[in-house]
Amino acid sequence: MTETIFAVATGRGKAGLSVIRVSGPDAAKALDFLHVGSLRPRRASLRRLKMPDGRIIDEALCLWFPGPDSFTGEDTVEFQCHGALSVVALMMETLGLIPGFRLARPGEFSRRALDNGRMDLTEAEGLADLIDSETEQQRQQAIRQLTGGLSCEIDHWRTDLIGVLALFEANLDFSDEGDVDTGVLVQAESRLSRIRDQMGKVLATGTRGERLREGITIVLAGAPNAGKSTLLNVLAQRDIAIVSSIPGTTRDIVEVRLDLGGYPVTLLDTAGLRESSDAIEQEGVRRMLARAAVADIVVWLRSGDEADSAIPDEIRSIPGLLMPVVTQIDRYKAGWEDLAISALTGEGMDELVRTLTELVHNLMGQGGEGAVLTRARHREAVAEALESVDRALAVLHSAGTELVVEEVRIAMRAIARVTGHVGIDDILDQLFSQFCIGK
């Protein structure tokens, strides 16, 4: 991190404002090079930015953040310029003229914040999730992780495990026989049991955090002309799928992202399920069944005149939740047992949305302020630590001290991987490559 980096930290394109960020050991050189002069730390000052030959680039707010009290932990400068494409281009060109300055790589500002101890790995992941969040529930989960919700829990476990190790070491230091006192074993058992219960509680959230990051998949399935495409368009509030009275119009899968009660949902319109000699339509049906097999919820649609027809075995055998819905009720008589709607008139649509929202909420599980595992690597590391704690408890009163201590150390190494204190180089490369350049 001997180089000084710079990048645009706001979105691309013409805008009212663009923020250009500079970070590194020579960040202050940008102030002199652009004729800004000295600035008071963490106080915005209006300055005219000039090229080396004195030509004015723009009038901007300038901020100076001396390290380590900055986002990256390094000396940092921010220029809040007008968002004209010409201004931004000239600013980037001018900063590139300063010796030792270079354009930042994706996620490099956040990577430096991690390397300088300004955040740990779970907080960096929370920042990435916040940037990518589409719904309120995703935002809340990302904020909890960014502000240390998971990190604090991991730190508590680490402190308790260190406490267990200290119990054994202190006892052995003052023991003439080299044996562990019974009282120490009782204390260690109490602490390890508490840690096991806490880890088990966090693991019990399952994949809820991952589901919330990735979203719930809902497949609209049914016979041709059951109203799948019409329903997709109504729920999306725009024309996405082609609606036609000709059976088999939808051949390929049409996807749309929705915000359903604050939860991210991917809604899929699929080919109608029926026997056909058309090779393309057969492929559409195959793709529909394949997506339905891995979907979280399958909404089986059938028109009012076919409301009494049995649900096909291919649909009944899917592992996800199955929600039967009768459609086009504006054209047929009432009296159905299943939820009934008319996407054309809006009848029953409020109940449909409410029911789907409840199903999604139940799949996600209960939220809260506690620690949530948002990635598979989190679950794997905590599960490994829990297994080590279980083994330590199993041999606590029967095996030698060395075996118990080793299991505790294995547990500590496992949870350290969550926050990024050991063995994380590959994880870091993958994570920060997904960030935008100015972050």
Instruction: Say which CATH number the domain at 65 has.
Output: 3.30.1360.120
Predicted local confidence at residue 355, as pLDDT:
93
Cβ–Cβ under 8 Å, residues 274 and 298: no
pLDDT tens digits for range 102-111? 999 998 999 9
The answer on 412 and 343 residing in a single domain is no
Q: What is the CATH number of the domain that holds 235?
A: 3.40.50.300
pTM of the model: 0.76
Q: Which of 90, 115, 140 is the last residue in one of the domains?
A: 115
* Dihedral angle, C-alpha 355, 359, 364, 367, nearest 10 °: 50
**pLDDT of amino acid 99:** 95
Residues 320, 259 share a domain: yes
Question: Do residues 139 and 57 both lie within one domain?
Answer: no
* Cα 255 from Cα 238, distance rounded (Å): 13
The tens place of each residue's pLDDT in the chain, 439 residues long, gives: 689 999 999 988 888 999 999 999 999 999 999 999 999 999 999 999 999 999 999 999 999 999 999 999 999 999 999 999 999 999 999 999 999 999 999 989 999 999 998 999 999 999 989 988 999 989 999 999 999 889 999 999 988 998 888 887 766 544 445 555 677 788 888 999 999 999 999 998 778 888 888 889 999 998 888 888 888 888 888 776 555 555 555 556 888 999 988 899 999 998 888 777 677 777 888 888 888 898 999 999 988 777 778 888 888 888 889 999 988 888 877 677 788 888 888 888 999 999 999 999 888 875 555 678 889 999 999 999 999 999 999 988 776 677 888 899 999 999 999 987 764 454 456 556 666 666 6
**Strands (DSSP E) found in 294-370:** 297-303, 321-327, 339-340
128 belongs to a structural domain: yes
Question: Within this chain, do residues 359 and 377 fall inside the same structural domain, yes or no?
Answer: no
Task: With respect to residue 428, please indicate whether it lies within any of the assigned structural domains.
Answer: no
59 within a domain of the structure (yes/no): yes
Are residues 407 and 308 located together in one domain of the fold? no
State residue 428's pLDDT score: 53
Containing structural domain, residue 346: 214-364
- Res 73: pLDDT: 95
Asked whether residue 308 is domain-assigned, the answer is yes
Looking up residue 154, the CATH number of its domain turns out to be 1.20.120.430
Contact 138, 126 (CB under 8 A): no
Amino acid at 177: E
Q: Are 175 and 167 spatial neighbours (Cβ–Cβ below 8 Å)? A: no
pLDDT, residue 197, reads 94
Domain shared by 86 and 164, yes or no = no
Residue with tokens 């060109």: 93
Q: CA 134, 135, 136 angle in degrees (round to 5)?
A: 140
235 shares a domain with 184:
no
Main-chain phi, psi angles of 151, to 5 degrees: -60, -40
- Is 432:110 a contact under the CB 8 Å cutoff? yes
| 94, 77: one domain | yes
Domain boundary at 95, 115, 135, which? Answer: 115
Q: What is the DSSP letter of 276?
A: -
CA dihedral 353, 356, 358, 360 (to 10 degrees): -130
Over residues 7-48, the pLDDT tens digits come to 999 988 888 999 999 999 999 999 999 999 999 999 999 999
* 431, part of any domain: no
Write out the two tokens for 104.
């930042």
188 and 218: one domain?
no
Q: Same domain for 143 and 229?
A: no
Structural domains in the chain (count):
3
Q: What is the pLDDT at residue 60?
A: 95
pLDDT at 430: 52
Question: Does residue 92 lie within any of the structural domains?
Answer: yes
Q: Are residues 59 and 78 both part of a single domain?
A: yes
Query: Does residue 280 sit in the same domain as residue 262?
Result: yes
Predicted pLDDT at 320 = 85
